[in-house]
Amino acid sequence: MEDRVKQIKQQLSAHNYKLTPQREATVRVLLENEEDHLSAEDVYLLVKDKAPEIGLATVYRTLELLSDLQIIHKLNFGDGVTRYEFRAEGAEHHHHHLICLNCGTVDEIMEDLLGPIEVQVEREYDFQIIDHRLTFHGICHRCKGKVTDPKKLVGSKVT
Amino acid sequence: MEDRVKQIKQQLSAHNYKLTPQREATVRVLLENEEDHLSAEDVYLLVKDKAPEIGLATVYRTLELLSDLQIIHKLNFGDGVTRYEFRAEGAEHHHHHLICLNCGTVDEIMEDLLGPIEVQVEREYDFQIIDHRLTFHGICHRCKGKVTDPKKLVGSKVT
DNA sequence: ACACTATTAGATAATAATTATTTTAAAACC
DNA sequence: GGTTTTAAAATAATTATTATCTAATAGTGT
C-alpha cells in the first residue's frame, strides 16, 4: 500500500504534479477499494471520511489527472456514471468485465484472451490497437436459475 | 428500405405499439444513416427535416422503445452521449468497433470473432453470455504515420 | 359517424453528472 | 519573507436525459 502510494507520488512528480493531501486521500480510497468500480460520487463520499473538507470538484479533477497519467482507467458500464479502477501494474492491456443483467454485479476476467484476435484485427483492418474494452452481459453464476427468460433482460439496458 | 420499415411496424405492433408518423420518421432517419452512430440529438436534428414539429423528448422515447424491442442497439463510446445503431437483422450478437484515438472515427468490425472466447468464459466463470461489447482503441489506417507517440493519446479519453 | 378509452406527442420542468469559473489557500522558489 | 505558481473550495453553468402534465390522436365498440 505505502509502496504504491509512493510510486504514484513519483509518477505525479515526473509530470510536475504534486501529491497533495487531497490527492493522496483520493488515491488511498481507490487503493482500498481496488476490487470495486467506484464512481466519482462513490469516491467522494469515501474520501470525505479521511478528509472531510474535500470538494467534489477536486475529486473529479484528481480522477481526471490520474486517468490522464494512465494510473487509473475510466470505465463505462452504461449506467450513466463513469467508474474508475486501478490500472493493473505493468499490464499491457485492460482486463475485461462480466456484467450480470439480473443483479448488476460486475465481475472481472483477469486473463487477456484477445491476443490472437488483436493480431487478426490489426492485419485485416490496418488498425494499430492501443487499448480495448470487452464486456460480457449475461447471467452470473449467482443468478443462474433465478431467471426464466434471459433474452428479455437485454432490452435497453446494455450499451 | 420500405420492407424494413414495414418489418419494424410489425415488430412494434407485435408488442402493441403503433408506428406513429413521428416514430416512422425517426426510424427512417436511422435507416438512412445506418453507417453512422447517431446520438439522440443527431437523430432529432435529422428528423426535424422530415417532421419539424417533433419534440426531442419524443425522439428519446422512440429510441428507448426501439432499444427495448431490440430493434436498435445503444452504444457508449465514452464521449458522454448515448449513440444508436440498427441491430443487424438476424444477428445473434452485436458487432465490434474500432475507435481512432487520433481522429475519432468509428469503424465497424462485422465479424464476430469472439465465439471460442465466449465458450471459454461461460465455462470458466459459470456465466451465461447474452450479449457483449468489444471496442478497440488505437490508430486507424487513415491516421497511420500522422501520429508520433500513440501511447500519449490514450490518457483519459478511453472508457 | 360518435362517444369512450388508451396511447402517444408536445412542451417544459426536473434531475443528475460533469465541467468551468472565480476566489482563496497552500506550496515552491528565489 | 515576499512573490509567483499551483491547486483547492465553493459554487455556478452546462449537458444529456428523464419525468410530468396536458393536449392530440387513434382504435374500439355501439
Residue A78 dihedral angles phi and psi, to the nearest 5°: 80, 15
C-alpha distances (whole Å) from A45 to each of A29, A38, A41, A65, B158 are 10, 10, 6, 19, 25
Distance B75 CA to C15 C1' (A): 22
Residue A40 lies in a domain: yes
Out of A67, A90, A113, pick the residue that ends a domain. A90
Contact predicate A50/A28, CB 8 Å: yes
Q: Is the CB of A81 under 7 A from strand C?
A: yes
Say which CATH number the domain at A130 has.
3.30.1490.190
Which range, of A130-144, B49-63, B137-151, averages the lowest pLDDT? Answer: B137-151
Q: Confidence band (pLDDT; 50, 70, 90) for B90? A: low
What local confidence, expressed as pLDDT, does residue B19 receive?
96
Residue A65 lies in a domain: yes
A98 shares its domain with A73: no
**Cell numbers given for A34:** 481496488
Which nucleotide lies at the shortest CA–C1' distance from A16?
D6
pLDDT tens digit sequence for A88-127: 776 677 789 999 999 999 999 989 899 999 999 999 999 9
Could you tell me if A19 lies within 8 Å of chain B, comparing CB atoms?
no
**Cell numbers given for A18:** 504534486
Percent residues over pLDDT 70 in chain B: 98
Give the span between the Cα atoms of B113 and A112, in whole angstroms.
15
- Indicate whether B159 pLDDT > 90: no
A86 shares its domain with A97: no
- Selected for mutation to probe chain B from A68, A105, A134, A148 (highest B CB count within 10 Å) is A134
The residue range of the domain holding B105 is 91-151
Residue B157 lies in a domain: no
A103 is in an annotated binding site: yes
Residue B60 lies in a domain: yes
Can you tell me the mean pLDDT for B33-46? 95
Q: Cell match 450478437: residue?
A: B93
**Between the CA atoms of A151, A155, A159 and B1, what dihedral angle is there, to the nearest 10 degrees?**
110
pLDDT tens digit sequence for A11-53: 999 999 999 999 999 999 999 999 999 999 999 999 999 999 9
Residue A69 dihedral angles phi and psi, to the nearest 5°: -85, 5
What local confidence, expressed as pLDDT, does residue A133 receive?
94
A93 is in an annotated binding site: no
Closest chain A C-alpha to B56 CA, distance in angstroms: 18
**Cell numbers given for A35:** 476490487
Say which CATH number the domain at B60 has.
1.10.10.10
Return all residues near B119 (Cβ < 8 A) that are at least 6 apart: none
A85 shares its domain with A102: no
Contacts with B98 from chain A: Cβ below 8 Å: 121, 125, 127
Give the span between the Cα atoms of A107 and B128, in whole angstroms.
13
A73 shares its domain with A106: no
For chain A, how many structural domains are there in total?
Answer: 2
Collapse the DSSP code of A75 into the 3-class scheme (helix H, G, I; strand E, B; otherwise coil) and give the result.
strand
Could you tell me if A78 lies within 8 Å of chain B, comparing CB atoms?
yes
**Cell numbers given for B120:** 471459454
What local confidence, expressed as pLDDT, does residue B48 receive?
95
